[in-house]
Structure 1
Amino acid sequence: MSTQRQAYRASILHSLADPAVVGQEDSYQYFEDGILVVENGHIVDIGEAEAVLARQKDNLEITAFQDKLITAGFIDTHIHYPQTGMIASYGEQLLDWLENYTFPEEERFKNPMYALKVARLFFDELARNGTTTALVFGTVHKSSVDVFFEEAEKRNLRMIAGKVLMDRNAPDYLTDTPESGYADSKALIDKWHKRSRLLYAVTPRFAPTSTDEQLAMVGKLLKEYPDVYLHTHLSENKKEIEWVLELFPERESYLDVYDHYGLLHERAVFAHGIHLSDCECQRLAETDSAIAFCPTSNLFLGSGLFNLPKMEAFKIKVGMGTDVGAGTSFSLLQTMSEAYKIMQLQQKKLHPFKSLYLATLGGAHALHLDDKIGNLEVGKEADFVVLDLHATQLMRFRMQQARTLEEKLFVLMSLGSDQAVHQTYIYGDLAYSANADQSRKIAS
């Protein structure tokens, strides 16, 4: 971590609140010519360049960017690091896709060296796409999570992850038991939770792959460790929902399965939530649980269209997720573009300021980390990204036609991807630079 006070000069935009709550104009802060000042891994000043320079009497080391936009690092509220190697697998919906692609790939993670290879690539891809925090699935193998956290700690990342729990309806080579899953999870929590910038999530894959006994063990872990996370899937696919109700006939709904075992709380994040009833939405709101909106994977697997306005009506916390590998890109910019299209298919609008909120401060709020990350307020951890508004010839030309800030932001979300990420900073230190990436490509 760099302890020297450093400053970054460019246009600066970050979210202050949910536009659905406070309105568009009060939901963000923008400085056309701004300066962000960082020291000891935290933001110590932000504002218009002239005002910041007047406040900062000491000589500042200033890095100035042209045609760039600084914003908070992106937050991915649902992603699978073991599925990096099977991203873009053709032609299946959820349940067949798991059986034919996901489970065979996850078997390979019994080898810690393979897990390390993938973890390094995974973190490189996150940085290259401007993602600084993620809520991450491991595999059933305890070692896959150890490897993940070891590599994340080396990079000083704020990451949340957990060992997958599955004791039925999965291949024998990927199942644990309620007892072994509990013991492994407990050991991982004791070792990694709140170590450096790392946090732990108890991670049952989804209701169909856990018995009543295992779900009861998950509830026990959450009672024993009330500040850990719960991360699982919910109501992604209609056949999945039918299967859940067959497996748990005594429960009223898919969500009720989790609720029965005490899995709903302020640090519970449920991926997808596409086909939720009003009663389920009400219960999510009452327990302060969150949903991860994963538009790219929802389209790719044909799962359905997420009803964001309904979540807003019930005041449910929502973050954005790429859901790699069912999601086909690590880029939250591309994910925002797909989210817009999902709203369009429902004759709804998704404003660019709302998209920015979902991918930054909304994600932090969903992860109960909005006191630490999610925007660029003074005191927050200095995880931020520098975006290139002229990353491609088309983007440069289109930006010249843009007349308003929201139009520029929408163009960035619609045409941007990893190419638009110029630099990524983690806790005040440079973690990725497109210039260095290009140099490596030329050298190779």
Structure 2
Amino acid sequence: MEKNIVTPWEVEGVVDYQRLMDEFGIQPMAELVDKIPNPNHLIRRGIIFGHRNYERIIDSIKNKEPWAVMSGFMPSGYPHFGHKMTMDEIIWHQKMGGMAFVGIADLEANVVRGLSKEKCKEIGLLYVKSIIALGLEKESLIYFQSANQTVKDLAFELSAEVNFSELKAIYGFLPETSLAKMFVTCVQASDILHPQLEFYGGPKPVVVPVGADQDPHLRLTRDLADRISIFSFERIENGVRVRSRKGEEHLKKLEALDFEMKVYEAHVDVFGDHVEIEKQVRKIEVESGGFAFIQPSSTYHKFITGLTGGKMSSSKPESFISLMERPDTAEKKIMRAVTGGRATAEEQRRYGGRPEICTVFEFYSYHLVEDDKELAEIESECRNGKILCGSCKKRCAQIVREFLKSFQEKMDEVELEEYNIVI
């Protein structure tokens, strides 16, 4: 029986995205596509298949209110096209108006993968240059976990809200799991929550674009966002019920609110627009020294299939194309890629190819073809047997070759000192 494992550190077997959605309460992105202004190709094509509370981000975009996008990369291997997908998502969200935060998870790579601190920095800088070369704007914060004292301080505070039983339930940790690996989960939560600190403008919606394997971090972080904040909210008819997690004395501070209220022993019912009520209560909390975190939103993209089949993985060099790859080497990998072609050319002309199981067509869909009409034409040529796999691979290989040549030239031109980078 094939193993099916999906954790932040290991993915094996065929990933059942519907099961992940059903089991963990991830919502289908398809329901929101028509509400998103100028959705990118990953959203339009269902590659970003799920979300949590992405409605908050849509509302912030439309209302031009402050929000942020945050995600990160563990520098355990060279950045490849699988990482490019997350980078593209960060950049698109930034262009839609979000403050961009990019974390390099060097602490995690050091603890989980055993890489030296020097190697983590060396590889981490390649990720930094890659996302800049792809178009990240200068109004961003890029940082290494080990160098960001704010993130580490917040992680320590968050750790007081977590126990081993919870981490065991979420991550499957065992008694022999190192304390460092367990603490890294709090660093990840801190990465996600720190854009809401007062230094960065205070509480705001934050979206975290990730692969489906990273959802355990989001589930833990959403719980921690609630636990560490003073006030909790419950929607009631015509208003919001506000409770205090840190002692009922904090409820007295709500007397400053300019809303109709009913005060009870353990909670206060506040009547009016729930969005404005929550905003004002969060402001009171921040002024009182609290965090007032909003649960982070998240989007989930499918894994890009490795060129040899299965998940694209840094530990399997033939399965991926690194963004540092020599263009001629990348070309050869594409020409050896697994496709959805038939056993013979004659069968393919008669029955057509199967782009839905073709790694080359995935490259077109995920990375190489922005225009939906152009992609539909490629798919039609394949399904109708008008093009054979050899010709299709050559076309794909040429596009990849040209992309890498241009991309690597841009990387060489990156001036890191022009960006806000904490190393």
Q: Determine if the TM-score, normalized by the shorter chain, exceeds 0.5.
A: no
Give me the TM-score of the superposition, normalised by structure 1.
Answer: 0.29
Q: Which has the higher strand share?
A: 1
User: What is the TM-score when the length of structure 2 is the normalising length?
Assistant: 0.30
> Larger Cα Rg: Structure 1 or Structure 2?
2
Decide which structure has greater helix share: 2
